[in-house]
Amino acid sequence: MIQTKNLTKRYGKFTAVDGVNLNIPAGEIYGFLGPNGAGKTSTIMMLLGIVKPTTGEIRLFDEPYSPKRLDLRRRIGVVPEKHPLGMWTWMTAAEYLQMFADLFGLEESGRRIDHLLDRVGLAEVKHKKFSEFSRGMLQKLSIVRALLPDPDILFLDEPISGLDPFGVKQIRDLILEENREGRTIFISSHILSEMEKVCQRVAIIYGGKLRAEDQMRSLLTTLAKDREIHVDLEELPADLIEKVKSLSFVQDATGQERTLVVKVPKTGDFRKELSRYLIDQNLVPLSIQEKSLSLEEAFVTITKENINLFAGIGGEK
């Protein structure tokens, strides 16, 4: 659905995007991560046809893409980071959406508008001027507008920005539901905990280069230096931590109230050995869990510590 080959964007002597190759199949939720200035926005602007690449190729729906390909652009929905205001502040939400429905030439547009507004919890304010909307309400309205023409690809830039916890869940559920219906979704967001919940595959761009790209679980496993085993006990004896540190497979051990936290190598499963040792110490594990590396921790690892880890990527810090 989305392919790039050596996609590059230079602004004078500054290279914002440096030879990025993407290959995103149909039906995938793809997360695109990067700190400010990493090249994330420039990449997205080129994919949308707003900014022209300096060099490289873009293919959408397995066809060469340019802003002139209106037939392809009609199959794309976009939720920008900035919300709809401008000249339309006098409009109600329903009028605003109807204007776009008319531009798209949608049939039975009123029914679709009502359906989408209901899905994001805005049905009761459809006749309210959206200049009076909160930031979160504007974000939901942008998502409804993007979904109106039933696009095959949905680009989301910070889709849950400004939403309260209930709104975040609404949009998360909506993203997953749209994906189950076959829609390809490209998400850029700084809220990594939410990206971890919805994305099937993620890429990390840093310094204009694609530093890592993989299935979510594979990426986290690759970047993890070690693993943590958390053991809940009825009590945490004062001398237990030092004893556990002496075990051959333990890299470090700490305590958090009645929880023993043990760092072990990322290869191998040491839960059985640790459990057996604790029982030999007349301690009964109430629960034993392995803590996985989070996407946020992986992001910090790739952008700050191990920028040259991945073979064939290279680059300077």
Q: For the chain, which residues make up each domain, given as ranges?
A: 2-220, 226-291
Please give the torsion angle defined by the CA atoms of residues 92, 94, 95 and 99, in that order, rounded to the nearest 10 degrees: 140
Q: Would you say residue 290 has pLDDT above 70?
A: yes
pLDDT per position as a tens digit, 146-175: 999 899 999 998 888 777 888 888 888 888
Percent of the chain with pLDDT over 70: 88
Of the pLDDT bands very low, low, confident and very high (cuts 50, 70, 90), residue 65 is confident
Calpha distance 251→231 (Å, rounded) = 16
What number is the average pLDDT over the span 93-121?
Answer: 90
Would the pLDDT of 310 be above 50?
Answer: no
Global model pTM greater than 0.85: no
- Higher-confidence residue: 174 or 291? 174
Position 316 scores a pLDDT of: 38
Q: Averaged over 96-100, what is the pLDDT?
A: 91
Distance, CA of 212 to CA of 299 (rounded, Å): 10
93 or 190: which carries more pLDDT confidence?
93
Which ranges constitute the DSSP H helices of the chain? 40-47, 70-73, 93-104, 109-119, 135-147, 165-180, 192-198, 216-223, 240-245, 271-280, 295-300
Which of 28-32, 71-75, 93-97, 115-119 is predicted with the least confidence, judged by mean pLDDT? 71-75
What SS3 state is found at 257? Answer: coil
Q: In this prediction, what percent of the chain has a pLDDT beyond 90?
A: 30
Please name the CATH architecture into which domain 2-220 falls: 3-Layer(aba) Sandwich (3.40)
Distance CA 80, CA 67 (A): 17
Question: pLDDT value at position 98?
Answer: 93
> What is the predicted pLDDT for the residue at 69?
84
Rounded average pLDDT over 225-235? 82
40 and 209 Cβ atoms separated by less than 8 Å? no
The whole-chain average pLDDT of the chain stands at 84
Long-range contacts of 59-68 (CB under 8 A, 24+ apart): 59/2, 59/3, 59/4, 59/5, 60/1, 60/2, 60/3, 60/153, 61/1, 61/152, 62/3
Residue type, 264: V
Q: Tokens in use for 191? A: 């809220």
pLDDT for 313 equals: 40
Whether 71 has a pLDDT exceeding 60, the answer reads: yes
What's the whole-number mean pLDDT along residues 58-82? 86
Q: Are 1 and 25 in contact (CB under 8 A)?
A: yes
Which tokens hold the place of 172?
């998360």
Query: Which residues 6+ apart lie within 8 Å of 275 measured at CB?
Result: 231, 285, 288
- Residue count of the chain, please give it: 317
- Indicate the burial class of 316 (C-beta count within 10 angstroms; 0-12, 13-18, 19 or more): exposed
Cβ-based neighbours of 25, under 8 Å, separated by 6 or more: 1, 184
Mean pLDDT of 129-143: 85
- Write down the residue that tokens 């037939």 correspond to: 71
In the CATH scheme, what architecture does the domain 226-291 have? Answer: 2-Layer Sandwich (3.30)
CA angle 18, 23, 27 (to 5 degrees): 140
